[in-house]
Amino acid sequence: MRATEELMTEHRAIERMLVVLEAAARRLDEGQAVRPGLFRDVVDFVRNFADRCHHGKEEEHLFPRMEAAGVPRAGGPLAVMLFEHDEGREYVAAIADAIDAYESGDSSAAGQIAENARGYVGLLRQHIAKEEDVLFPMADGVLGPDDKRELEERFQQVEAEVMGPGVHERYHSLLEDLERELGLE
The domain locations on the chain are 3-181
Q: What is the pLDDT of residues 132-180, one digit of tens each?
A: 999 999 999 999 999 999 999 999 999 898 889 889 899 999 999 999 9
Q: Which fold has domain 3-181?
A: Four Helix Bundle (Hemerythrin (Met), subunit A) (1.20.120)
3-state helix, strand, coil in the chain (%, to 5): 85, 0, 15
Q: How far is residue 27's CA from residue 182's CA, in Å, rounded to a whole number?
A: 10
Is the pLDDT assigned to residue 107 strictly greater than 90?
no
Mean pLDDT, all residues of the chain: 95
Segment 37-67, tens digit of pLDDT:
999 999 999 999 999 999 999 999 999 999 9
Rounded to whole angstroms, how far apart are CA atoms 57 and 156?
A: 10
- C-alpha–C-alpha distance, residues 158 and 152, integer Å: 10
Burial class (CB in 10 A: 0-12, 13-18, 19+), 86: exposed
Write down the pLDDT at residue 185: 78
The span from the CA of 98 to the CA of 37, in Å, is 12
